[in-house]
A and B are shown apart, each in its own frame.
Chain A
């Protein structure tokens, strides 16, 4: 009956699915029993969003081998389009679940479009140049979103682009029943918090199925081939631009959905939340979890979000400790002499470098 599990990679995939389902059941149970500290309970939906972010960035960085430093930009696009979708439909669709699903889809679609448009110039570059240009696009998205003023009333959506910095919500000309959704530099406020833990869980599962099935398919092989050797991939009839683009757009779409989930879980959210540091935060999840290793990304995103919360008692020193741990982990897992030492002490231990081949 479980014959399909004989394949090592299939087994690994199902282990990942099982782990996520189990974690969700345990967390839901603990939450109902009131056994989760308030500090962490508030982080549950954001953790789901971070996990999806890590999975999606891992597709670009780990699987496609393109170092993107602007992933928060796509999250931002998804968050604000998702918030606008959810808020502007609050009259038409009273059901929160349906609205959230629409918000996630709108967020994913908008981010995918942004990913496609940005991908056209970005994917002509590679290596550090690609990294610096994605960073640039991340900053551009942040500033552009900061200039947006959006409101809705019975006549429809009103959008202003605040180029000079002098416009305010009043310039939207909303009717009395109208609601301002995004207020420029202040960001979105008064958002209905419709995101739920269950929605977060479903999104994580959907993202996992999409990415893992993609990686195990013909398309995924082509993406991996392009990463391993671009010229060889071209020589066997694979358009490198096309497959890097597929990875980039799918990743952007998932980041957009994660953004919509994230955005609809806070009543107040400013655009500066999605800055360079957010992109780096996600990248750290991906690198520490192992390039191409989706299960690793999930675990890293969870632990690294909970840990700083748990370390709050050390307040001032917590980020310092985080920084030191980060450096030590990177040196410990990548320094050859240290690695050999570890290998001698603990035989057959997998290091992040060896997991490059996307085997989780």
Chain B
């Protein structure tokens, strides 16, 4: 069994503070999920999910197909309303909040099946992400008041700045739907970052990427954490990526957490090996 510590009545994964002391989950957790669960009909898709993520932690959420990983993301972002449990974001309860409200509270995400605004340009996609940070009223938009020109100029500049993370500023005027797959995934990350989150959820960011793209993505995820000082949680099947950059890992199987710990601990965990069977050896 993995090691757990029981503090303040919450289950806290050990690795976060043992590995990166400055990213202490106790003094500054960005996310606390407590006894989170959801039922679909009679099926308990996710049950008693507990997780704490530190302010600048990179956490991994792994598990076999159908384990409920994306469902956890959907619960955290309120795409699904949890049947049970509490989610605290920077200490604030998110119950009763909808998807767009929890985004404003600090969660941004990407999607497993890419969801870009396909008819809009790359820059416009990022500007949609900047919706709440570069705000002006509808009326100033129609009347084109000075606030409109100022904010639009700021948004333009900020969008290009954000795109430069992935060296995509040259693609600014391309249509998002016509980008190659890898670039679409990267654009989704940029769009999520534009909302100024404190926690970024990445749903299979490396899916469909080749090894060199994945290696680059890995560097970029760490770079994003270091520049924006935010926490990142990712779902990923590429074990080399997860084991290399995640500081804490949570393993899900049949909707239940079967292990939490550092990459080393997870790699030698029997329950995890059993859940994955041969899969673990590939990694």
Q: Which residues of A contact B (CB under 8 A)?
A: 209-210, 213-214, 216-222, 224-225, 228-229, 231-240, 246, 356-358
Q: Number of B residues whose C-beta is below 8 Å from A? A: 40
Check: B195 CB closer than 8 A to any chain A CB. Answer: yes
Query: If the complex has contacts A228-B120, A229-B117, A231-B99, are A219 and B128 also in contact, measured as CB distance less than 8 A?
Result: no
Of residues 153 through 199 on chain B, the ones whose CB sits less than 8 Å from some CB of chain A are 155, 175, 191-192, 194-195
State whether the Cβ of B131 lies closer than 8 Å to any Cβ in chain A: yes
Q: B117 near A225 (CB under 8 angstroms)?
A: yes
Beta-carbon nearest neighbor of B115 in chain A: A232
**How far is A233 from B127 in the complex, measured between Cα atoms in Å?**
12
Closest to A216 in B: B141
Q: Are A214 and B119 in contact (CB under 8 A)?
A: no
Contacts of B124 in A (CB 8 A): 221, 224
The answer to whether B141 touches A232, judged by C-beta atoms less than 8 angstroms apart, is no
CB closest chain-A residue, reference B126: A236
Taking beta carbons and an 8 Å cutoff, which residues of B are in contact with A? Answer: 77, 79, 98-100, 103-104, 108-109, 111, 115-120, 124, 127-129, 131-132, 134-136, 138, 140-144, 148, 151-152, 155, 175, 191-192, 194-195
With A210-B142, A218-B134, A221-B131: A357-B104 Cβ-Cβ less than 8 Å = no
Distance A218 CA – B156 CA, assembled complex (angstroms): 12
Closest 9 pairs between A and B when the two form their complex, measured CB to CB: A217-B141, A234-B99, A232-B115, A237-B103, A357-B119, A228-B117, A219-B138, A225-B128, A234-B100
Nearest A residue (CB) for B127? A221
Instruction: Enumerate 18 A-B pairs (CB-CB under 8 Å) in ascending A order.
Output: A218-B134, A218-B136, A219-B138, A221-B131, A225-B117, A228-B116, A228-B118, A229-B115, A235-B103, A235-B108, A235-B192, A236-B100, A236-B131, A237-B104, A238-B128, A239-B100, A240-B100, A357-B119
Query: B76 → chain A, closest Cβ, in Å?
Result: 11
Contacts of A233 in B (CB 8 A): 100, 117, 128
Among B104, B111, B129, B138, the residue within 8 A (CB) of A217 is B138
Expressed in whole angstroms, the Cα–Cα distance for A72 and B141 within the complex equals 27
Residues B131 and A238 in contact, CB atoms below 8 Å apart: yes
Besides A229-B117, A234-B99, A236-B191, 16 more A-B contacts (Cβ < 8 Å) are: A213-B143, A214-B138, A217-B136, A217-B148, A218-B141, A220-B141, A221-B124, A222-B131, A231-B99, A232-B111, A235-B79, A236-B129, A236-B192, A237-B100, A237-B132, A246-B138
Give the number of A-B contacts (CB < 8 Å). Answer: 106
**Complex: how many Å from CA A161 to CA B115?**
50
User: Is A236 a contact partner of B194 (Cβ separation < 8 A)?
Assistant: yes
Contacts of B99 in A (CB 8 A): 231, 234-235
- Nearest A residue to B188, CB-CB: A232
- With contact pairs A236-B103, A237-B131 given, residues A213 and B118 touching in the complex (Cβ less than 8 Å): no
A356, B119: Cβ atoms under 8 Å? yes
Contact at A214–B141, with CB atoms within 8 Å?
Answer: yes
The interface residues of chain A lying within 8 Å CB-to-CB of B195 are 236-237
Chain B's closest residue to A211 (CB) is: B142
When chains A and B are docked, how far (Å) is the Cα of A169 from the Cα of B73? 64
CA distance A206 to B145 in the complex (A): 16
CB-CB under 8 A from B132, the residues of chain A are 237
Residues of A within 8 A of B128 (CB): 221-222, 225, 233, 236, 238
Residue from the set B111, B131, B144, B195 with the largest chain A CB neighbour count within 10 Å: B131
**Complex: A242 Cα to B90 Cα, angstroms:** 26
Give the residues in chain A near B111, CB-CB below 8 Å: 231-232, 235
On whether A234 and B103 interact (CB within 8 A), knowing A218-B136, A218-B151, A228-B119, the answer reads yes
Q: Nearest chain B CB to A290's CB is how many angstroms away?
A: 13
CA distance A216 to B155 in the complex (A): 13
Shortest Cβ gap from A232 to chain B (Å): 4
